[in-house]
Each structure stands twice: as structure tokens, then as C-alpha cells.
Structure 1
Amino acid sequence: MLKKKLFPTTLSTFFLSRTLTSIPQHSHLKLSLHAFPSPPLRDLLCHNPAFCFSLGSLRFCGESFCSKPAEKFESRCWNCHAESKPESEPFLLCHSCRCIQPVDHSVDYFEIFGSERKYDLESSYLEGKYKEWQKKLHPDLVHTKSQKERDFAAEQSARVNDAYRTLGKPLSRGIYMLKLDGVEIDEEQTISDPELLAEIMEIREAVEEANNSEALNQILSQMQEKLQNWSNSFAHAFQNRNFEEAKIAIRRMTYYSRVIDEVVKKL
């Protein structure tokens, strides 16, 4: 009886060992308990605190079989080979020789601006950080550097510009935050809500018929208020991880933003 109980665990452990040793170093894979259908093996992983193993960027430890992010591989400066410091600013500039580094796409837009991932961002803060980066990265300021570093400066400057534009507006910021969570938004999705369709037709009619700045400014004020209300709805939905409600809010915000742009052009 004892042999029958031990055999599945031993066999499963053998196959796990063979699997792990056959995976190339630095592979980035995700595992869950569903990957191990054998109950004895799950028991071994979940209840043996001494059983730990690393797999690519993940580390699995016994008791709860919780994945913990492995430490990032340290980036090194292409010029002086100094390692980046985890506590320092994003590795756009080398902290040692101050050379501009190639773009690292693992650094997200919030990290570039030294902010946590949050929807409520002060525009003055973003603008201040943006100007700080441009003083260091703008191609015109590195014209005496090597061609290689000038190329890096152009790439980094363009990425900082894109980050500033994206985080600077509630709509694009919300879409980006959803993207970071793996939620894609189809901004061109056909509207099927009858109530919203009726509202769209009514507002477009009002914009077309408006023949003075007073009427247009009144529509603009209404759209800005609606945009703010749905922005608040998005913030609430995102905070509660209700991505479906967040997507609905984004679609509404997209429409009202377009109306605002049309009104501004007509003013």
C-alpha cells in the first residue's frame, strides 16, 4: 500500500525534474497548479516548504506555490559597463558616465515619469518631469556626442514625448493603463447602444447647426462635463478591477473627446 502511494509522487517528481532541466536558461514561462495534474505532485509542491525552484523569471516555493517575480537582470551601460541601480531613475541615462542608453521597453511610461501606476496624475507634475527629461535627452543638446549616442537620444526623446502625450490626457492614460493590464480597447468598435446612438445624432446635429461661438461654447462645456463624469466612472471601475465597466467608460470618453475636438476646430 505504501509503495502505491509513493510511486506517483516519485514518478511525477522525476518528470518535473526532467522538464525543468530541459528548459533553456532565462525562459519566460508561466506555470500554475493546472500544469501539474497529479495530486501527489501538487501536495509535494504545496506542502513542502523546502521545495523551491526557479523557472525563467519566476520562482516557485513550497507552501503556497506562489510565483514571486525574480530579480531583473541588471542592465549595463553600453559605454562604461556600469550596472543600473534599482533605486535610481529609469535607465535612460547611465548614473555613472551619464551616457544616454538605448530604449528599454520594459520601462513603462509611468516609470519614465517616476510615478506609480495611477489614473489621477497632476498635469503640472507630468510637465515638470517631461521638461527635466528633455533637458537631458533632446537631440539638439547632444550634438557633440557620438553618432551612436545621438541615435539613442533621438529614440529616447521620441519615447518620452509619446509617454507625455499618452499620460497627459485622461482618455489615452486610461487606455494605456488597461493595456498594461492586458486589456485591449477597440476604439473603432461600432456603437450598438440605442440610447447612445440617439445622443450622438442629437449632439452632432447641434454642432452642425451652431452658428456662433456662444452656442459652440455651450456644447463644449456640456461635453467637457460628460467627459469628466465618465472619467470618474473609469477611475472607479479600474480601481475595482471591473474592466468591462472600464471599457464602457473609455468608449464614452472616446466619443465625447471627438466631439470636443470638432467643436474646438469650429470655434
Structure 2
Amino acid sequence: MSKRKLSTPLSTFTRKCLTSIAPFSPFKSSPTLKRCTYISSPPPPITPYHRLLHDPSYCSLGNLRASVKSVSSVSSRKIESGCWNCHAMPESAPFLVCQSCRSIQPVDISVDYFDIFGLEKNYDIEVKNLEGKYKNWQKKLHPDLVHSKSEKERDFAAEQSAKVIDAYRTLTRPLSRAIYLLKLEGIEVDEEQTVSEPELLSEILEIREAVEEATDSEDLNHILSEMQEKLRHWSTVFANAFKSRNFEEAKSSIQRMTYYERVTDEVAKKL
């Protein structure tokens, strides 16, 4: 395949079906990921906890959530008092674990993902600094480490651990981080919305066609490089739009990032 600029006349648009392009959803966990399990006896030398510390993608967030589905939603609340066990007041935020008696606290619905990692609610963050904080939380919250505690506290640990995993996965990816920031502003992004701009649709169809026709790694890497450049560009556009509170432009940027990231994933599967 020749190294051509990925653009095409609008005629391409008429050859394809709008519904053939499904946007990428950053919050869907792969069904093939191994499920975390709870144990009632001391953990063996290698446990899901140890795998999770070194590979957050090992544990399916969807499966972890399913395993705690039976926990009463009453435990999720806004914390307005002290520790449920010793009644000590929080020494610092977020209040996930009591600093006095070390009891794990119920999920506080007022604590967002940025609070968990001690970050300002900004799009531009130092992603590399999240891993250490993530591991520290899992050392305190992961269900494998609280098997000897009461059922009530094990339930709290399962909920808190699931929220920390969700927070880590969301904030480490530019697209999901952008969507989450708008959600905090009360703006929901419809990830299933079909492209309505002919120029963008034409470009996306051309890119997908190029991926299908690629026959070697050189062609695929060329496409991948272009997609990464486009993602960086629209990531910057989103950051500027969010800072200026131009939420319509921010949503438009997310739509483009969604499609470019999906193409990136398709290319990675073929490499």
C-alpha cells in the first residue's frame, strides 16, 4: 500500500453504512480477563492480589463489580461522621481507611476519582505518578488482604477496591479521563452517537479501509503513527476547550478521539 494521505472524496461516504462503525467504549472490560476471587483462608504465595498490583488489567472490573453486586447500596453514602468502628474523625482525605483503627470505610459517594489520587480535577495530569498510589491503595483495600475481617468490612473492601480500580483505569487513559471530566460537570457523552459530520465520517471510513487493505507491519505502523498524532492533536483541543469551559467543542473532540482510538486498537490487533 502506498503511503498516501488518509483523505478521500465524499463519495466514499455513500459507499459505507453509518451503522457499521461502532464507537469505542473506554469503560467496557474484556470478558476474557480473569476474575478476582475472595478467599476465606490465608492467601497462597501468589494470589490475585499480587497479580493485580503488577498488572491492573488482570482483574476484570466488570467481574469484580459483579462479585459485590449483592452488597447493599446503603453502604455507599456521603461520609459526614467519623469511622463506623471507632468514631474517630478523618485525619486526611480521602477517608477510605481509618487512620486510628485501620478499619476500611464504606464508599463515600462524594469522593471522585481525582480525590482518590490526590489530584486537582484537570485533564493534564502526570499519569506515571498514579501507579504507585494505586498500588498503595490496593495494599490496604484488596479483598485478599481482609479475609479475616468481618463480612461487613470485607464488603466495604470489595466496594472500595472496585472503585480504586475504576479510578485508575479511567484516569490513565486520555479518552476515558476526558469523558469522566465532563461527567463531573454534569455533561453525559453519548458513546453510541453516530458520526454526523460528512468530512469526519469520510475520513474514518477511509482509515478503516486502509487498515483492512494493509498487508504488512510497515503499512500498519504508518497508520498507527498517524492515528497517534491525531489523538495527540484532539487531546490538546479537548484540554483547551475544557479549560475555557467550551463544552460543545470538548464533546466534539471526544467524538474524534473515540474513533481514532478505536482504529488504533484495530491496528494493534493486526500487528
Q: Normalising by structure 1, report the TM-score.
A: 0.71
Contact 1:93 1:99 in 2 (8 A): yes
Distance 1:232 1:165 in 2: 20
Equivalent residue, structure 1, for 2:156: 152
Distance 2:210 2:79 in 1: 57
Equivalent residue, structure 2, for 1:136: 140
Matched, 1:82 2:88: yes
| Structure showing the higher strand proportion among its residues | 1
Point out where structure 1 has 5 or more consecutive residues left out of the alignment: 1-71
Aligned-residue sequence identity (percent) comes to: 73
CA RMSD of aligned residues (A): 1.2
Deviation of 1:141 after TM superposition, in Å, equals 1.3
Distance 1:75 1:245 in 2: 41
Equivalent residue, structure 1, for 2:184: 180
Equivalent residue, structure 2, for 1:231: 235
Contact 2:143 2:161 in 1 (8 A): yes
Deviation of 1:203 after TM superposition, in Å, equals 0.2
Deviation of 1:111 after TM superposition, in Å, equals 0.3
Largest Rg, 1 or 2: 1
Judged with a 3 Å threshold, the aligned counterparts in structure 2 of structure 1 residues 216 and 74 are, in CA distance, closer, same or farther, namely: same
Deviation of 1:76 after TM superposition, in Å, equals 1.8
User: Aligned residue pairs: how many?
Assistant: 194
Equivalent residue, structure 2, for 1:207: 211
Which consecutive aligned stretches of 4+ in structure 1 deviate over 4 angstroms post-superposition? none
Larger relative contact order (C-alpha < 8 A, sep ≥ 6)? Answer: 2
Judged with a 3 Å threshold, the aligned counterparts in structure 2 of structure 1 residues 73 and 165 are, in CA distance, closer, same or farther, namely: closer
Deviation of 1:124 after TM superposition, in Å, equals 1.4
Distance 2:243 2:96 in 1: 30
Equivalent residue, structure 2, for 1:116: 120
Judged with a 3 Å threshold, the aligned counterparts in structure 2 of structure 1 residues 146 and 203 are, in CA distance, closer, same or farther, namely: same
Q: Normalising by structure 2, report the TM-score.
A: 0.70
Point out where structure 2 has 5 or more consecutive residues left out of the alignment: 1-77
Contact 1:74 1:84 in 2 (8 A): no
Contact 2:79 2:108 in 1 (8 A): no
